[in-house]
A and B are shown apart, each in its own frame.
Chain A
């Protein structure tokens, strides 16, 4: 499989520059050759398999489930799909955004419930929409630093049940009430608190804490700034839904597990948010965020979704030792961060050139693009930013524009817009889809990118595992 030159490249102690050029030559002349020198602590880290529950619109069939139920189902599905011994999995990391207080370490509750040994540690991470990407890279860190050879990364989100809390003053009153003795004192505490007209309920919103701005609002401003029209966004949304529908019908969404929800007669077997419509229908919708003349509507945004995902990661050695045929190598990755006020959703634009550079690859080397679709407008804005010399020079400190991904390689099986976006679970779906598409489209490199609330972005290179 490996030619002598490539083995030398892989293990020799060479300078970064030489390596990059050498690799560039090799990769453009012959695809599907041996992997380049890995950067993850000297190990090749592979994706063995990734699965997910069907993603459903919040408030539908999953509405009575708790996050650990969804996560547990994803874990059980992964166990069944890979037939891995629970005792071989050394760590479980899950990403999630809206935490259910009772199961704050949802990774632990889910893994125990799925039958993993009590001796397998687990923890939960949060990084808004890229939480499961963070779970994956955290796992990469564990593997690279030699703490584990086989781990599971996943993500989960349910928006059917959100933590609606008493207002802060009322909470403080309740805690104080615990320590207050005597009916007189208790009553006086109650009246004092109520007299100050406290907020009764605190309902979480998808808003930036630092700016107080709802994400959709920010996206609307972004579209205005980049001059992205309503019709362009509706067309992109239609593209997403149509492609998702096509992929679903063709059976390409092989990461989807069947889910028998307790109390529901029919087993859930597919995502229920995919609904290709028409431009005419979509144009009837009113602006959802900046009314009345905003361009973002319900049809061209991702929707509140419930779902979970999980993937099995190992060192290449371990995977082969256990008899697996890995799907892909997880290569270079970056996290980028910018202004949450005016650049909230531009993560992919920043992450893409950075991760390509780190990997020594050009945009043209990428056969598969999987970008998280928070809003149609967000995707289009990122594409415009990457196509703009002005943007590159002014904001990215670059000499020329990044260049846009080839749309004929871009999100060909639909995206978060149509399939759904359970915040914590999307990352694993993107990585798994990228790996599956590489196999289906016979490509070598995939680029996964996503934006996240807080003004953070992520990019990762996924490399197809060579077929013998």
Chain B
């Protein structure tokens, strides 16, 4: 629904299709509420709101799909469901119509296997809430045709998004670089850093949202799912805390903000600040998986243990060709994940603060925790030769 919302106010005519009238009604309501909020804030008049809303065509049928130039699918994160949708939709859409999937982790090439025209399949990963988060991560496969990419980028720019184009690897770019940091955060929690402290440590470093709150926002179940999938793809390098912790939290219904409790308990009646209290249930689970703290236990250590895994993974994405340019890496990290903006992004950070010092820190943690802190080759190259920069200075 958010994707429709950022399209209709840019003069794009959008068909919103759902399976049931109730689901459709919820989507329409969400879009209208979003527009109504803007009206209350006096960004648009009530008339403009109605006019924008007129660009939305909510339907249960495929009747008008023959007029579509692009289909963006945002259904449940299940490969079979997505395959079913592709097969159904392709019966109705015209030749030139691009099919984009708003998936956060399913490989696009796998999704494309159900299609008759895989060159027209592309990933368009939006970030929630879509009307506020500026990043759009476009994922291409070797089969994706150039005009398909061009169309996707064009639509993304028209929607007011900052667009990056990345390759089709597990977790693409944004999910992939976040995962090791989340794993590390779980380990910190197990070592006795409670959620409030964890938040303080990370916001003190420059992250706009504390790590524990971020986990709750993303969803503990999503985090668990991602940890499992990427763990399978990349092995123990992506490990950190015990995955059982997340699984147990999910089993206990601690899904984060969406279920009202995760690392914190959310009480909407008490307002934003007072309504967020530490969740005793979560602490109990963490207690059961206690790890003895190591020598890397100063505030600075906590900050850099999280930070270095994030940056290292980002650089590895460039190394492996998931990213084509460091600039896109920086934009993706800052606008999609809230990387401390004053660093300018992971690559800019390395240029400014030097790869060497980060490598030294990582080597120290590598001694304690092993391969999860092994610096990648590209990072080592930049450490060896300090004149090597990701961004050419002009």
Residues of A within 8 A of B (CB): 68-69, 72, 76, 80, 109, 112-115, 258, 260, 262-263, 265-267, 269
B54 contacts the other chain (CB 8 A): yes
Additional A-B contacts beyond A113-B54, A262-B32, A265-B29 (19; CB < 8 A): A68-B50, A80-B57, A80-B64, A109-B47, A113-B47, A113-B50, A115-B51, A115-B55, A260-B24, A260-B29, A262-B29, A262-B36, A263-B32, A265-B25, A265-B26, A266-B21, A266-B22, A267-B21, A267-B25
With both beta carbons as reference points, the residue of chain B lying nearest to A76 in the complex is identified as B54
**Min CB distance, A84 to chain B, in Å?**
13
CB of B25 within 8 A of CB of A72, answer: no
Give Cα A113 to B64, complex, Å: 22
CB of A263 within 8 A of CB of B29, answer: yes
Residues of B contacting A109 with CB < 8 Å?
A: 47
**Min CB distance, A345 to chain B, in Å?**
37
CB of A114 within 8 A of CB of B54, answer: yes
**Number of B positions contacting A (CB below 8 A):** 18
With both beta carbons as reference points, the residue of chain B lying nearest to A116 in the complex is identified as B54
Residues of A contacting B21 with CB < 8 Å?
A: 258, 266-267, 269
With both beta carbons as reference points, the residue of chain B lying nearest to A266 in the complex is identified as B25
Give Cα A267 to B27, complex, Å: 12
CB of A113 within 8 A of CB of B51, answer: yes
Q: Report 6 cross-chain contacts, Cβ distance below 8 Å, ordered by A residue.
A: A69-B50, A72-B50, A115-B51, A115-B54, A260-B28, A262-B33
Residue-by-residue, is B5-22 near A (CB-CB < 8 Å gives 1, otherwise 0)? 000000000000000011
**Min CB distance, B48 to chain A, in Å?**
9
CB of B58 within 8 A of CB of A260, answer: yes
Residues of B within 8 A of A (CB): 21-22, 24-26, 28-29, 32-33, 36, 47, 50-51, 54-55, 57-58, 64
A112: contacting residue among B29, B51, B58, B64, CB under 8 A: B51
Residues of A contacting B32 with CB < 8 Å?
A: 262-263
**Min CB distance, B186 to chain A, in Å?**
38
B54: contacting residue among A72, A258, A266, CB under 8 A: A72
Given known pairs A113-B47, A262-B29, the reply for A267 and B24 (CB within 8 Å) is: yes
With both beta carbons as reference points, the residue of chain A lying nearest to B51 in the complex is identified as A113
**Min CB distance, B141 to chain A, in Å?**
35
Which 5 pairs, one residue from A and one from B, show the smallest C-beta to C-beta distance? A262-B32, A113-B50, A260-B28, A115-B54, A267-B25
Give Cα A191 to B38, complex, Å: 44
Give Cα A114 to B56, complex, Å: 11
Residues of B contacting A69 with CB < 8 Å?
A: 50
Residues of A contacting B58 with CB < 8 Å?
A: 260
Residues of A contacting B57 with CB < 8 Å?
A: 80
Residues of A contacting B64 with CB < 8 Å?
A: 80
Residues of A contacting B50 with CB < 8 Å?
A: 68-69, 72, 113
Residues of B contacting A269 with CB < 8 Å?
A: 21
Give Cα A267 to B25, complex, Å: 6
Residues of B contacting A115 with CB < 8 Å?
A: 51, 54-55
Residues of B contacting A260 with CB < 8 Å?
A: 24-25, 28-29, 58
Residues of B contacting A258 with CB < 8 Å?
A: 21
Residues of B contacting A112 with CB < 8 Å?
A: 47, 51
Residues of A contacting B55 with CB < 8 Å?
A: 115
Residues of B contacting A76 with CB < 8 Å?
A: 54
Give Cα A262 to B34, complex, Å: 11
Give Cα A222 to B281, complex, Å: 76
Give Cα A72 to B51, complex, Å: 10
**Min CB distance, B273 to chain A, in Å?**
29
**Min CB distance, B286 to chain A, in Å?**
39
Give Cα A115 to B57, complex, Å: 12
With both beta carbons as reference points, the residue of chain A lying nearest to B50 in the complex is identified as A113
With both beta carbons as reference points, the residue of chain A lying nearest to B60 in the complex is identified as A258
Residues of A contacting B25 with CB < 8 Å?
A: 260, 265-267
Residues of A contacting B22 with CB < 8 Å?
A: 265-266
With both beta carbons as reference points, the residue of chain B lying nearest to A72 in the complex is identified as B50
Residues of B contacting A80 with CB < 8 Å?
A: 57, 64
With both beta carbons as reference points, the residue of chain B lying nearest to A83 in the complex is identified as B64
Residues of A contacting B33 with CB < 8 Å?
A: 262
Give Cα A265 to B22, complex, Å: 8
Give Cα A267 to B51, complex, Å: 20
Residues of A contacting B24 with CB < 8 Å?
A: 260, 267
**Min CB distance, A109 to chain B, in Å?**
8
Give Cα A68 to B51, complex, Å: 12
With both beta carbons as reference points, the residue of chain B lying nearest to A265 in the complex is identified as B25
With both beta carbons as reference points, the residue of chain B lying nearest to A66 in the complex is identified as B46
Give Cα A414 to B47, complex, Å: 36
**Min CB distance, A283 to chain B, in Å?**
39
Residues of A contacting B28 with CB < 8 Å?
A: 260, 262
With both beta carbons as reference points, the residue of chain A lying nearest to B57 in the complex is identified as A80
**Min CB distance, A309 to chain B, in Å?**
18
Give Cα A262 to B29, complex, Å: 6
**Min CB distance, A113 to chain B, in Å?**
4
Give Cα A135 to B21, complex, Å: 33
**Min CB distance, B56 to chain A, in Å?**
10
Give Cα A260 to B58, complex, Å: 9
With both beta carbons as reference points, the residue of chain B lying nearest to A269 in the complex is identified as B21
With both beta carbons as reference points, the residue of chain B lying nearest to A80 in the complex is identified as B57
Give Cα A61 to B109, complex, Å: 47
**Min CB distance, B47 to chain A, in Å?**
6
Give Cα A76 to B26, complex, Å: 20
Give Cα A260 to B30, complex, Å: 12
Give Cα A23 to B188, complex, Å: 93
Give Cα A114 to B52, complex, Å: 9
Give Cα A114 to B51, complex, Å: 6
With both beta carbons as reference points, the residue of chain A lying nearest to B25 in the complex is identified as A267
Give Cα A391 to B51, complex, Å: 53
**Min CB distance, A330 to chain B, in Å?**
28
Give Cα A115 to B48, complex, Å: 10
**Min CB distance, B16 to chain A, in Å?**
10
With both beta carbons as reference points, the residue of chain A lying nearest to B54 in the complex is identified as A115
Residues of A contacting B54 with CB < 8 Å?
A: 72, 76, 113-115
Residues of A contacting B51 with CB < 8 Å?
A: 112-113, 115
Residues of B contacting A72 with CB < 8 Å?
A: 50, 54
